[in-house]
Structures are given as C-alpha cells and as structure tokens.
Structure 1
Amino acid sequence: MGAFSFFRNIYHVDTLDTRFTVSSSTPYKAAIEERNDAAVASKERAARWNSRPLSSSKPRWNTLEFYLYYTILGLAVPCMFWIAYDASKSTNPNYKNYERYLSPGWIPGRKIDITDTQYRTLRSNIPYLGALVVLHPLLRRLYSSVVYRVNSGGKASRPTLEEADQRLNQRASFDFGFAIIYLLALHGVSAFKVLTILYLNYQVATTLPRKSVPVATWVFNIGILFANDLCNGFKFKDIASVLGGGLSGGLINESNSGLVNWGRWLDSYGGLMSRWEILFNITVLRLISFNLDYYWSLDRRSYSPIEKKQLDPSSLSERDRISIPAQSKDFSFRNYVAYAIYAPLYLTGPIITFNDYISQLRYKPASVEISRTIRYALRFALAFLAMEVILHYDYVQAIGKFSPRWTEYWPSQLFLLSYFNLHLIWLKLLLPWRFFRLWSLVDGIDPPENIIRCVSDNPSTLAFWRSWHRSFYRWSLRYIYVPLGGSSFDSVRDAARSIFTYVLVFTFVALWHDIKLHLLIWGWLIVFFMLPEMAAGSLFPKRDWETRPTMFRMLCSFGVVGNIFMMMMANLVGFAFGVDGLWAIVAGIFEHFSGLVFLTFACTVMFVGAQIMFEIRESEKRRGVITKC
C-alpha cells in the first residue's frame, strides 16, 4: 500500500466508525465476510441499506460547474485564513489587550492561544493520558492472567456461553475495581459522593414499584443536575456548616467550628479533579440508561429475544446489542458501577448504553481491529496537530474572552473571527471525544463516534444535530424522543405535538450542558431554526422535483446558506460570545456598506460550499455509505 492510499484510508469513513459503512441491523462479522469476498460488488454491499436507495446521479466532480466552484474556493479559503490571521497580528490595536494571555508557542516566532480551559487541560495532560491508554489494557491482561489464569487474548472460534460469562466476569470485575481506584485518584474523598449518588439511583431502579421507575429516574437525575450546580458539588465544609447549625439550633461560626474545620480539611483532599460535579453530567446519562434498560428488561423476563429470533449472541448487530436487554443477573451493582465509571469513557464519553456495554463485555466486538485502531489514532494525531497550528496563528479565543472593542475590527474580520471560533469549538470537543474513544477501542469496547462531519460540512440543521455529539443524539432518541412519541407533520395537531417534543428534548439537552440562561436560549434557538427546514421540506418535497434535479439542488443550496447562518448564530450564543456579544458582532458587520459587500461574498462562498457538501454525500451513496447527515 502506497503512502497516498494509506492516507486515504486514514480519512475513510470506515476508519472513523464502522457504523457508517455497515447497517445497524447487520452483524459486523457478516460484513467482514462480505468485505473479504472480492467477488461481491459495491452495489450488493450497499443493498443492505434497503431503506435508502443508492444515488442515481452521475459524479459532477469533473464538470465545468464544479471547476468554477473549485476556482471560487481556491481563492476564498486562503483569503479566509489570511483575514483571521490579520485580525490576530500584533499590529492590530486590540492586540495589547490580550497579549498577556498568550503563551509561548513551539512554532518559531509565534505565541499560542490556549486561553480555553478545556483544551488547555487536555493539552497539558496528554502525556499522562497517553500512559493510561497503554497501562490500563496491560493491567487488564495482567489481572485476567493472574486472577482468572486464562489468556485474555480470546479464541478464534465462537465462545461457549460459559466462556462468554467468564469473559464478562473478568472484564466487569476489573472495570469495577479500576473504577474505584480511578474515582479516588480523580476526586479524592469526593469519590464517596459519586458512589452515594450511584447507590441512590440504583435503589430507584431496583426497589421502587415498577411503574414508578421512569418518572422517579428522571426526577432524581434532573434533580442531581440542579443540586450539583446549586450546591457547588456538596463541599464537605458546607455540609458540616449545615449539620453544625442544625445541631446547635442556629448558625455557627465557621472559623471556630471543629466540624467545619474538619469538613474544610476533607475538601483539601479533592484528588486531581476536585470539582467532580463539572463532568458528572455525562455520568447522569449512564445512570438514566441503566435504570430505563432495567425497566424495559422486566417486560422480557419470560422469554429470551436471542433464542426467539435464533440469533448468534457472539455476532449481534448494533441494533440488537442495544435493544435486546441484558440478562437479569447482569443488572448487578458491580456491573452497574463498572458501566457508570468505565474509565475510558467516564470523563467525556462517548455514551454507550448499558445493554450494549454488557453485550460487548460478554463478546468482543468484531469491529475492534488493530489496523483500524492504528489509523484512528493517526487521525486523532493529525486533528491535534491542526488545532495546534491554528492556535498559533488565530487568536480568536483570546480576542473573544477579554471584552474586545468589536468596532475596531472590519466586518470581514468580525465574520471570520466568529466562523473560526466555531471551528475551534468543534476541534476542542472533537479531540477529547476521539482521544477517550481511542482509549476505549484499545481496551476492546467500541462506542459510537461523536463527531462525523467537520463543522463546515453541515448543510442541514437536523443533520447537524445528528452528527454533532452523535452518541448523545442517539441516547436522546432512545430515552427521550421515541418514548415521547417521535415526530410527525401529517396534520397541524401532529406538527404542534412534534414541535413540543423537540422543545422538551432540547430543553433537557441545554440544562444537561449547564444550567445557564444562554444555553437554554441556545437549545430553543436550535428548535426555532429547525422550523424553516421542516417547513421547506413540506412545501418543496423532493418527489415534486424529480424531473428538475438541478433546479432542486440550487434551491436547496439557497436554503443551506440560511441554515449555516442560523447555526452559527445559535452556537455563538451557546458556546462563544453569548447574546450580547452576538448582537455586537452583527451590528459591527452591518454598520458599514463594506459589511454588506462582504456578506454577499460570504453567501456566495457558502452557496458553493453547499454544492460541494451535496456532492460529497452523493459520492458516499455511490460507495454504499449512507450516514443520514
């Protein structure tokens, strides 16, 4: 294999996640056999996606139309980078306001903007996290060989039920023990707060009357989100102050109270991450998953879906791994803690359901292959390098954080600073998600990929939501959207109910991110900005344009331009500048005539980008890849 072919394979969608090349209803082992059969044509492989036809359009990459697009992009993209770089130069009047916040860089002559706390934390801990990726699987092998005295490498033939149960016990026992050690190292004495919440949630699922479990689960876990925020993670000092005040019948003097001093002393042993509540939101999703998977499993205790469907338990499709409930004995407290605090996915995800986790413990997923994992690691490294290079030349995060005077920037600079800010948000989230997923793949667990597309490759608001934090999207479908009845726009009443469902979903999504007003506005803006796309889909159905595909494609591209602007606005409010900052930027763009000129240029470039996006998806369909986003 040549260097170019290897590089292409790194960026093949199959490297990112096999879920994009194999239907969720197809066992991956069957896909491997099919892939290894050279006689199978690409159309036959794609036929498994019988819910969606292959693209019938001819490739447009070598047409005169697309050569025009290449010319426009070839001129526009370097200009975009130059404008953002020019706004970050030391000659800009605003530079002196944030220069002190820049750090020495490794590119000669350039400083680096690592003002973002999330990325700075990941960047500074990469060596230690890299060591964990190596040591954690090695410790698992050592544990399995010493405690169980078996070869953890597995067997080539199909394992028996006893062997599968033994594998589950090996991995769950190790995950449980490592989870306790991991919690203590990360959170110190606050690990007992986490374990207390886990125990209470487990009792909600297993001791309350069955019909009360769903409501109690949601009330308890949403209550935990609010309590963690309002109580600052339940500091022992604050708990001691409340207890001491209650015992003494009034307020106590904190400085003289032995109980409060003891609480303050305990708080000083907070581990590597004393503020455990900041990243606990991701654990809340796993707590809800366990409870509802347990609740739904009670309906199937009288029969085995695997036996009824005559399925091979060692070769289940992803859909079956998620929907078929774990065995009743699997819903133990040990397995529950092992799942909720599974080290590679504990801090950031991606999210995997309890049923899927147990299934992958029992049988190693065939999609975990060494060659693919190596390519995935290289892809992460290249993304990390891209982030580093951008932060050396584009100081948009430092500019946005420290109250800039937006009137001193040109409209083109305001637009491009906002645009690159979204790209940096995308990259700073992509990197930890991919790193921890890489750790999970090395350990033998295959969770969903969280981000499919670049932030500049999202023509649809609905598709953007599917591809951004994808595991959370899939979680929301299973545990919120579908139980609420999904969506239908066949009548006005159905449309109103569907919109209300979306509002509920995104209200939870916003509150889950953080209990802040700007995030709540972000969630509602996402729903509001979905409405034009839904309305356009009803007013201009694709079937009515089958005889005019080019006209339909052009019409869709105009809609994409509006979608991109709306998505930029929503995400800048939620994750960058807030409402006031966004209005200041918009006012700066429209303050001068040059802003309107640049806006026209930007719309033209976005229109061209939309055409490229559509053709990328068509080319994927021709190869049998359908991602629905």
Structure 2
Amino acid sequence: MGAFSFFRNVYDLDTLDTRFTVSSNTPYKAVIESRNDATVASKERAAKWNSRPSSSSKSRWNTSEFYLYYLVFAFAIPSMFWIAYDASKTTHPNYRNYERYLSPGWIPGRKIDVTDTQYRTLRNNIPYLGALVVFHPLLRRLYNVVLYHQRLNQRASFDFGFAIIYLLALHGVSAFKILIILYLNYQVATTLPRKSVPVATWMFNIGTLFANELCKGYKFKNIASLLWVFLSGGLVDESNSSLVNWGGWLDSYGGLMGRWEILFNITVLRLISFNLDYYWSLDRRGYSPIEKKQLDPSSLSEKDRVSTPAQSKDFSFRNYVAYAIYAPLYLTGPIITFNDYISQLRYKPASLEVSRTIRYGIRFALTLLAMEVILHYDYVQAIAKFSPHWAEYTAAQLCLLSYFNLHLIWLKLLLPWRFFRLWSLIDGIDPPENIIRCVSNNWSTLAFWRSWHRSFYRWSLRYIYLPLGGSSFASARNAARSVSTYVLVFTFVALWHDIQLRLLIWGWLIVFFMLPEMAAGSLFPKRRWEDRPTAYRMLCCVGAVINILMMMTANLVGFAFGVDGLRSILAGIFEHFSGYVFLAVACTVLFVGAQVMFEIRESEMRRGINTKC
C-alpha cells in the first residue's frame, strides 16, 4: 500500500467509525464475512441504506463547473489563512495588548496561543494521559490472567475497581460526593414505584446539575460552616471552630481535579441512561427479545445492542458504577448507553480491529499537529480575549478571526473526544464517534446538530426527543408541538452545557434557525424539481449559504463572544463599505464551498453511504 492509499484510508469514514459505513441494523460480523466479495458487500450495503444513486448522481468532480470551483479554492483558502496570520503579526498595533499571554512555542521564531484553558489542560497532560492509555489496558490484561471469570463479570469487576481508584486520584475526598450522587440516583431507579421513575429521574438529575453549580461542588468547609451555625445558633465565631477547620483541611485533598462538578455533566447523562434503560427493561421481563427475534447475542447490530434491554441481573450496583465511571469515557465521553455497554462487556464488538484502531490513532495525532500549527501562527483566541479594540481590524480580519475562532473551538473539543475514544477502543469498548464532519463541511442546521457531538445527539433522540413524540409538520398543530419539542430539547442541551444565559440564547437560536430550513424543505420539495436538477441544486446552495451564516452567528454567541461581543464585531464589519464588499466575496466563497459539500455527500451516496449529515 502506497503512502497516498494509506492516508486515504486514514481519512476514510470507516476508519472514523464503522457506524457511518454500515447500517445500524447490520451486525458488523456479517460485514467482515462478506469482505472477500467486495462487490457483493457494496451492493448489500447500498441496499440496506436504501440509497441507490439516482440518474442525477453522476460525479461532477471532473466537470468544468468544478474546475472553476477549484480555482476559487486555490485562491480563497490561502487567503483565509494569510488574513488571520496578518492580524496576528507582531507588527499589528494590537499585538502588545495580548503578547504577554502567549507562551513559548516549539516552532522556531513563533510563540503559541494556549490561552484557552480546556486545550491548555489537555496539552499539558498529554504525556500523563498517554502513559495511562498504555497502563490501563495492560493492567486489565494482568487482572484477567490472575482472576479469570466469565467475560462480563471479569470486565465489570475490573471497571468497578478501577473506577474507585480513578475517582480518588482525580477528585480526592470529593470522590465520596460523587458516589453518594450515584447511590441516590440508583435508589431512584430501583426503589421508587415504576411509574414514578422517569419523572423522578429527570427531576433528580436536573436538580443535581443546578445544585452542583449553585453549591460549587459542596465544599466541606461550607458544609461545616452551615453545621456550625446550626449547632451553635450563630453565637460563636466559626473561624475558631475545629469543625470548620477540619472541613477546610478535607477540601485541600481534592485530587488532581478539585473542581469535579465542572465535568460531572457528562456523568449525569449516563445516570439518566441507566435509570431509563432499567425502567424500559421492566416491560420485557417476561421474555427475551434476543430469543424472540432469533438473534445471535454475540453478533448483534448496533441498533440491537442499544434497544435490547440488559438482563435483570445486569442492573446491579457494581455494573452501574462501572458504567457511570468507566475510566476512558468518564471525563468527556463519547456517551454510550447502559444497554450497549453491557452488551459490549458480554461480547467483544466485531468492529474492534487493530488496523483500524492504529489508523484512528494516526488521525488523532495529525489533528493534534494541525491544532498546534494553527495556534503558532493565528493568535485568534488571545485576540478575542485580550484585544477588544475591534475597530483596528479590517472587515476581512474580523470575519476571519471569528471564523477561525469557531474552528479552534471545534478542534479543542474534537481532540479530547477522540483521545478518550481512542483509549476506549484500545481497551475493548467501541463508543460512537462524536464528530463526523469538519466544522467547515456543514451547511444544514439539522445535519450539523446530527454530526456535532453525535453521541449526545443520539442520546437526546433516545431519552428526550422520541419520548416527547418526535416531530411532524403535517399540520399546524403538529408543527407547533414539534417546535415545542425542539425548544425543550435544546433548552436541556443548553442547561447541560452550563447554566448561563448566553447558552440558553444559543439553544433557542439553533431552534429559530432550524425553522427556515424546515420551511424551505416543505415549500421546495425535491420531487417538484426532478426535471430541473441543476436549478434545484443552485437554489439549495443559496439556502445553504444563509444557513451557514446563521449557524456561525449562533455558535459565536454561545461559545465565543456572547451577544455583546458579536454586536461589536458586526458593527466593525459594516462600519465601512469594504465590509459589504468582503461579505459579498465571502458569500461567493461559501456558495462554492456548499457545492463541494453537496458533491461530497453525493459521492458517499454513490458508495452506498448515507450519514444523513
């Protein structure tokens, strides 16, 4: 295999996640068995996706139209990088405002912008995390040799024991706070009357999100102070209290991550997953879905792993803790349901192959390298945080700084998600990939939501969207109910990210920006344009440009500048006529980019792949 073929495989969708290239109804073992006949496998896959190419799906990559687009790309992409780099030069008037926040870089003559706390934390701890990725699977193998059990018990008992050690190392004495929350949630699922479980689960876990935020992780000193006031009646100065001093002493043993509540949100999703999977399993206690469907339990499809309830004995407290604090996925995910986790403990997924895992690791390393290079040349995040003099930047610089800011947000989230998923793959659990597309390869608001934090999207579908009734726009009444469903879903998504007004605005903006796309789909159905495919494609592309601009606006408000910051940037862009000219040029480039996005998806459809995003 040549270098070009190898890197093509590295960036193939199948390397990223087999869920993108194989139907969720198809057991992956069947795919492996059919590899000897690639033609048959391709035809079967295409049939399963119901995505047979239409007459208009002929490739456009070698047409004169796309050669024109290549020329636009050849000019636009280097210009985009240059404009952002030009705004980051040492000669720029605003450089002195943020220079002190830059750090020494490893590229000669360049400093690096690591002002973002999330990425800086990951970057500084990569050597230790890398050692853990090697140590954890090796320790599991040693455990398996010394104590041999049935596969599920063997893995679950190891995950449970390692989870306790992991919690103590990360959070110190605060590990007991987490275990108390887990215990209370387990009692909600297993002791309350069955009909009360869903409502009680949501109330408890949403209440936990607010309580964690408002009580700032329940500091022992604060708890001791309240107890002291209660016991003494507020008549004695608490500064001399041994109880309060003891609480402060306990807080000093907070482990490697004293503020455990910041990343506990991801655990809340697993707590809800366990409770609702347990609740739904009670409906099927009288029969086995696997036996009823005559399925091979060692070769279940991904859909069956998620939807088939675990056995009643599997909903034990040990398995629950092992799942909720599963070390590779504890801090950032991706999110895997309890049913899927138990199924993969019982039988190793066929999708776990050494060659694919190696390619996935190489892809992660290349992504990390890309992040490092960008941060050495484009000081976007430092400028956004410490250089508020937006009037000193040109319209083009303001637009490109905002654009690259979104890219860096995407990369700083992508890297930990892929790192911890890589660890999970090495350890023998295959969770869903969180991001399928580059942030610049999205034109649909609906598709963007499906492809961004994909495991959370799938979790939201299973536990919120579908139980609320899904969506239908067949009538005005159904449309109103569907919009309400979307608002509820994205309100929870926003609150789950953080309890801040700007994130609530972000969530509601996403819903608001979905409505024009839904309306356009109803007003301009594809079937009415079958005799004018090119005109329909151009019309869709205009809508795509509008969608991209709206998505950029929503995400800049939610994750970058906030409403006031965005308002200042827009004022700077449209202050002069040059801003309008640049916007027209930018829309032209986005139009070309959208055409390429369309063709990428058409190419996938011709291969029998339909990611729906």
Q: TM-score, normalised to structure 2's length?
A: 0.99
> Which residue number in structure 1 is paired with residue 544 of structure 2?
560
1:280-335 Cα deviation digits (max 9, x unpaired): 00000000000000000000000000000000000000000000000000000000
Query: In the aligned structure 1, how far is the partner of 2:39 from the partner of 2:573?
Result: 57
1:22 and 2:6 are equivalent in the alignment: no
> Which residue number in structure 1 is paired with residue 62 of structure 2?
62
Partner SS, residue 566 of structure 2: helix
Partner amino acid for 2:115? T
Is the CA contact (8 Å cut-off) linking 2:35 and 2:41 kept in structure 1?
A: no
Query: In the aligned structure 1, how far is the partner of 2:54 from the partner of 2:96?
Result: 54
1:435 and 2:435 are equivalent in the alignment: no
> Which residue number in structure 2 is paired with residue 162 of structure 1?
none
> Which residue number in structure 2 is paired with residue 86 of structure 1?
86
Partner SS, residue 531 of structure 2: coil
Partner amino acid for 2:310? A
Query: In the aligned structure 2, how far is the partner of 1:55 from the partner of 1:137?
Result: 47
Query: In the aligned structure 2, how far is the partner of 1:294 from the partner of 1:44?
Result: 35
Query: In the aligned structure 2, how far is the partner of 1:81 from the partner of 1:430?
Result: 21
Query: In the aligned structure 2, how far is the partner of 1:549 from the partner of 1:245?
Result: 75
Is the CA contact (8 Å cut-off) linking 2:52 and 2:608 kept in structure 1?
A: no
1:553-587 Cα deviation digits (max 9, x unpaired): 00010001111111101111111011100000011
Partner amino acid for 2:432? P
1:412 and 2:396 are equivalent in the alignment: yes
Deviation at 1:42, TM superposition (A): 2.7
Query: In the aligned structure 2, how far is the partner of 1:536 from the partner of 1:243?
Result: 60
Deviation at 1:253, TM superposition (A): 2.8
* Between 366-375 and 619-628, the greater mean CA deviation after superposition: 619-628
Is the CA contact (8 Å cut-off) linking 2:170 and 2:255 kept in structure 1?
A: yes
Query: In the aligned structure 1, how far is the partner of 2:69 from the partner of 2:430?
Result: 38
Is the CA contact (8 Å cut-off) linking 1:55 and 1:622 kept in structure 2?
A: no
1:380 and 2:379 are equivalent in the alignment: no
Deviation at 1:403, TM superposition (A): 4.5
1:526 and 2:510 are equivalent in the alignment: yes
1:200 and 2:184 are equivalent in the alignment: yes
Deviation at 1:626, TM superposition (A): 1.1
> Which residue number in structure 1 is paired with residue 107 of structure 2?
107
> Which residue number in structure 2 is paired with residue 505 of structure 1?
489
Query: In the aligned structure 2, how far is the partner of 1:346 from the partner of 1:192?
Result: 16
> Which residue number in structure 1 is paired with residue 457 of structure 2?
473
Deviation at 1:251, TM superposition (A): 6.6
> Which residue number in structure 1 is paired with residue 588 of structure 2?
604
Query: In the aligned structure 2, how far is the partner of 1:251 from the partner of 1:276?
Result: 33
> Which residue number in structure 2 is paired with residue 241 of structure 1?
225
2:432 aligned to 444, 448, 469, which one?
Answer: 448
Partner amino acid for 2:269? L
Query: In the aligned structure 1, how far is the partner of 2:168 from the partner of 2:221?
Result: 19
Partner SS, residue 255 of structure 1: helix
Deviation at 1:452, TM superposition (A): 0.3
1:225 and 2:209 are equivalent in the alignment: yes
Deviation at 1:401, TM superposition (A): 0.9
Is the CA contact (8 Å cut-off) linking 1:23 and 1:49 kept in structure 2?
A: yes
1:590 and 2:574 are equivalent in the alignment: yes
Deviation at 1:41, TM superposition (A): 5.9
Deviation at 1:252, TM superposition (A): 5.2
- Cα distance change of structure 1 residues 252 and 472 upon mapping to structure 2, 3 Å threshold: farther
Query: In the aligned structure 2, how far is the partner of 1:184 from the partner of 1:171?
Result: 20
Alignment of structure 1 residues 123-134 onto 2, 5 Å:
123-134=123-134
Partner amino acid for 1:392? H
* Between 227-236 and 255-264, the greater mean CA deviation after superposition: 255-264
1:417-451 Cα deviation digits (max 9, x unpaired): 00000000000000000000000000000000000
- Cα distance change of structure 1 residues 233 and 2 upon mapping to structure 2, 3 Å threshold: same
1:447-493 Cα deviation digits (max 9, x unpaired): 00000000000010000000000000000000000000000000000
Deviation at 1:108, TM superposition (A): 0.4
- The alignment covers a number of residue pairs equal to 612
Partner SS, residue 14 of structure 1: helix
Is the CA contact (8 Å cut-off) linking 2:224 and 2:243 kept in structure 1?
A: yes
* Between 30-39 and 3-12, the greater mean CA deviation after superposition: 30-39
1:348-404 Cα deviation digits (max 9, x unpaired): 000000000000000000000000000000000000000000000000100011242
Q: TM-score, normalised to structure 1's length?
A: 0.96
> Which residue number in structure 2 is paired with residue 368 of structure 1?
352
Query: In the aligned structure 1, how far is the partner of 2:464 from the partner of 2:519?
Result: 23
**CA RMSD after TM alignment:** 0.9
Unaligned runs of 5+ in 1: 151-165
Is the CA contact (8 Å cut-off) linking 1:34 and 1:45 kept in structure 2?
A: no
Query: In the aligned structure 2, how far is the partner of 1:485 from the partner of 1:460?
Result: 23
Query: In the aligned structure 2, how far is the partner of 1:102 from the partner of 1:251?
Result: 51
Is the CA contact (8 Å cut-off) linking 1:55 and 1:618 kept in structure 2?
A: no
Deviation at 1:254, TM superposition (A): 3.4
Query: In the aligned structure 1, how far is the partner of 2:109 from the partner of 2:601?
Result: 41
> Which residue number in structure 2 is paired with residue 399 of structure 1?
383
Query: In the aligned structure 2, how far is the partner of 1:126 from the partner of 1:36?
Result: 40
Query: In the aligned structure 2, how far is the partner of 1:254 from the partner of 1:536?
Result: 64
Deviation at 1:536, TM superposition (A): 0.4
- Cα distance change of structure 1 residues 524 and 38 upon mapping to structure 2, 3 Å threshold: closer
Alignment of structure 1 residues 67-216 onto 2, 5 Å:
67-148=67-148, 166-216=150-200
Unaligned runs of 5+ in 2: none
Query: In the aligned structure 1, how far is the partner of 2:457 from the partner of 2:42?
Result: 29
1:147-166 Cα deviation digits (max 9, x unpaired): 12x7xxxxxxxxxxxxxxx1
Query: In the aligned structure 2, how far is the partner of 1:184 from the partner of 1:226?
Result: 24
Partner amino acid for 1:427? L
Deviation at 1:624, TM superposition (A): 1.2
Query: In the aligned structure 2, how far is the partner of 1:304 from the partner of 1:508?
Result: 34
